[in-house]
Structure 1
Amino acid sequence: MASINGRTALVTGATGGLAKAIATALAREGATVVVVGRTEARAKEAVRNIRAAVPDAILEPLACDLSNQASILSAAEEFLSRHDELHVLVNAAGVFRKERHVTADGLELTFATNVMGYFLLTNLLLDALKRGASRDQGHPSRIVNIASKYSGGPSVTKIDFDDLQTAEGSYSYLRSTPPTMLGRVLLTQEFAERLRGSNVVVNAVHPGLVKNTGLLQDVGGPFRWVTNTFGKTAEKAADTAVWLATSPEAAAVTGKLWAKRKELPTPGMGSDTDARKRLWEECMRLSKIL
């Protein structure tokens, strides 16, 4: 693993579970890690917890509600007021909700957080990522998006562009969440295409089942039992994301989905160029801040 001493990383959802393990690993490697939590109190608590594990860690808390576009804009502006460059962006925040909720922006909460949050924050930080990449051509800036290879199954997952907000029919997390995981893969590919030649690489990660994650606190029953029984620890699940964020081997790879440091085929519509471009256009249309 390459040293990232003196470089800056930002990790969303870093107050617990997988994202916190990623933030801790990057801090241990010497990066300045901006720890993003939904509230300032949660971000500061995560900083204290990570520092307990890595006493010499350089950490900064940053509040950002990824379901709220004004909060995303405010967080990006706060980061940019302190940092001219960004070298690693890990989009790991997400929700897995049993009931349908609508955000202040009028968007369904799962889509707003899991897709729009990734899209908006990444776009707002692109110039900082490009500046970080221009410092040393041998060290590209990295964007790592936590996604999933399952996404409802390799042959059945689709994004319903006529019902992105899951407003029609009955709502369930099994209906609302898989398309957002596919959406993350599509956006990873589209960002990679748009960033070719910029020395910024973008990849998605399937971490697998992760034990004791707060992501499933709203979901009970067998699903949570299976995850906590057979899932990996957050530290083990973080390995591929940290590898993509730091390793020389991953420096030239972009637009791919990974698990266990190996490239995976993309799920469902993942090979559909038109679908990824249409999702980009829909995200732009729904944005109030770009």
Structure 2
Amino acid sequence: MNKVVLVTGANSGIGLALCERLLSQDSEGLQLCLACRNLQRAQAARSALLTSHPTAQVALLHLDTSSMASVLTAAQEVKRRYNRLDYLYLNAGIMPNPQFDVKAFFKGLFSSRIVSMFATGEGILTQQDGVTSDGLQQVFATNLFGHFLLIRELEPVLVQAGQTSRLIWTSSSNARRSAFSLEDVQHQRGSEPYSSSKHASDLLSLALNTHHNSQGLYSSVICPGFVMTNLTFGILPSFPAFLWTLLMPVFWLIRMFTNTFTLTPYNGAEALFWLFKQKPESLDPRAKYHSLTSGLGNNYTQPRKMDIDLGTSEALYEKLLQLESEVRQKLKQKRIPESS
């Protein structure tokens, strides 16, 4: 039976690299669905995949995780198309309006902090968040809550008797406990919404395992390492292309001393691809699975304990359930005037 795999944010970067790697392994045994906000880019990605794998089953789905109406509509479409879902890769994410501390960056280049600075962005990177039409913080909605609502809506095809299904989150080394607060889960009062949202996804994954492992649904978290993607380039949107070119040899040199500099989307997708082949019962729910690349370019996956605890994960889960109820009620109220 073909495995049904849905990947959010699949039109570029790590998501697209994962799709290519999955099809390269078994293009005949998969039903692959690219769930993307921009359908034009998604169509281009699908065409590229079919050029390499002309017999593959590759479908498109319009999904904007920052819009809860879009999430609900997309989930209904998934349930209409498929009677089961084996893998749900929760990969879509944004880092809007990044503020880059150039002075701290160049100071860090000539210090012992250089590796951790590149790996986590700590001390050099903040963001200016916005608010969605649903009244949610944009980063929280896109990176975390939209995915949470998607999981909730897709439970009928994820949780079935005799079926084992997987949730796999693309987290980050930038996920830090210090940026997250249970009293401000949407990070309205802080300047590191991206870091907060990624730490929250780590916590949520643990809670999902607590509640759903007995039903055959398992959740895992990965870190892609330092990868050159559109998100990375967006950190310095005005950075001249030639300076990125000049920095690349520095990055390759740094990789001789650290395995977290995966650099390419293909390498960054290593842990995502590795988890596809593992038995979920054998995995540690408190571990983050890191894509790593040696100085010689060899890719491998390594588990590392996450800085999370069960109490906080449960408290976050309850808060998200309450927020889900409020959001659904608001959406229902919006629809009533439209239909009257």
TM-score class, shorter: 0.7 to 0.9
Give 2:215's aligned residue. 198
After superposition, the C-alpha distances for 1:38-78 in whole angstroms (9 at most, x for unaligned) are: 03323222211221222222100000000010000000000
Amino acid at match of 2:45: A
- Residues 187, 196 of structure 2: 8 Å contact kept: no
Alpha-carbon distance between aligned partners in 1 of 2:276 and 2:178, rounded to the nearest angstrom: 28
Q: How does 1:1-290 map to 2 (within 5 A)?
A: 6-28=2-24, 29=26, 30-98=29-97, 99-131=128-160, 134-135=162-163, 140-152=164-176, 157-168=178-189, 171=191, 175-211=192-228, 213-220=229-236, 229=251, 230-248=261-279, 250-253=280-283, 255=285, 256-260=287-291, 261-267=301-307, 270-271=308-309, 273-287=310-324, 288-289=327-328
Amino acid at match of 1:252: S
After superposition, the C-alpha distances for 1:183-239 in whole angstroms (9 at most, x for unaligned) are: 11101100011112222221100111111x1223542178x9579945421111112
Ranges in structure 2 where 5+ consecutive residues have no aligned partner: 98-127, 252-260, 292-300, 330-340
Alpha-carbon distance between aligned partners in 2 of 1:244 and 1:122, rounded to the nearest angstrom: 19
Alpha-carbon distance between aligned partners in 1 of 2:188 and 2:268, rounded to the nearest angstrom: 33
Alpha-carbon distance between aligned partners in 1 of 2:184 and 2:215, rounded to the nearest angstrom: 34
Tell me how far 1:23 sits from its aligned partner.
Answer: 1.7
Higher mean C-alpha deviation, range 113-122 or range 10-19: 113-122
Amino acid at match of 1:105: D
Alpha-carbon distance between aligned partners in 1 of 2:273 and 2:187, rounded to the nearest angstrom: 33
Alpha-carbon distance between aligned partners in 2 of 1:177 and 1:142, rounded to the nearest angstrom: 24
Alpha-carbon distance between aligned partners in 2 of 1:34 and 1:178, rounded to the nearest angstrom: 28
Tell me how far 1:95 sits from its aligned partner.
Answer: 0.4
Determine what percentage of the aligned residue pairs are the same residue: 25
Amino acid at match of 2:266: E
Alpha-carbon distance between aligned partners in 1 of 2:37 and 2:188, rounded to the nearest angstrom: 25
Tell me how far 1:251 sits from its aligned partner.
Answer: 4.9
Q: CA separation of 1:57/1:238 partners in 2, compared to 1, >3 Å: closer, same or farther?
A: same
Ranges in structure 1 where 5+ consecutive residues have no aligned partner: none
Tell me how far 1:165 sits from its aligned partner.
Answer: 3.2
After superposition, the C-alpha distances for 1:252-281 in whole angstroms (9 at most, x for unaligned) are: 3252321143221103xx12x221112112
Is the partner of 2:219 in helix, strand or coil? strand
Alpha-carbon distance between aligned partners in 2 of 1:246 and 1:66, rounded to the nearest angstrom: 27
Higher mean C-alpha deviation, range 9-18 or range 29-38: 29-38
After superposition, the C-alpha distances for 1:81-105 in whole angstroms (9 at most, x for unaligned) are: 0101000110000001123211011
Structure ID, larger Rg: 2
- Residues 17, 214 of structure 1: 8 Å contact kept: yes
Is the partner of 1:196 in helix, strand or coil? helix
Alpha-carbon distance between aligned partners in 1 of 2:211 and 2:167, rounded to the nearest angstrom: 13
Amino acid at match of 1:263: P
- Residues 141, 201 of structure 1: 8 Å contact kept: yes
Runs of 4+ in 1 over 6 A off after TM superposition: none
TM-score, length basis structure 2: 0.72
CA RMSD of aligned residues (A): 2.4
Higher mean C-alpha deviation, range 258-267 or range 5-14: 258-267
Is the partner of 2:289 in helix, strand or coil? strand
What is the total number of aligned residue pairs between the two structures? 268
After superposition, the C-alpha distances for 1:104-155 in whole angstroms (9 at most, x for unaligned) are: 1101111111110221111211221123x725xxxx3211111124424xxx
Amino acid at match of 1:283: L
Higher mean C-alpha deviation, range 235-244 or range 70-79: 235-244
Structure showing greater relative contact order (alpha-carbon pairs closer than 8 Å, 6 or more residues apart)? 1
- Residues 12, 90 of structure 1: 8 Å contact kept: yes
Give 2:107's aligned residue. none
Is the partner of 1:21 in helix, strand or coil? helix
Alpha-carbon distance between aligned partners in 1 of 2:178 and 2:56, rounded to the nearest angstrom: 41
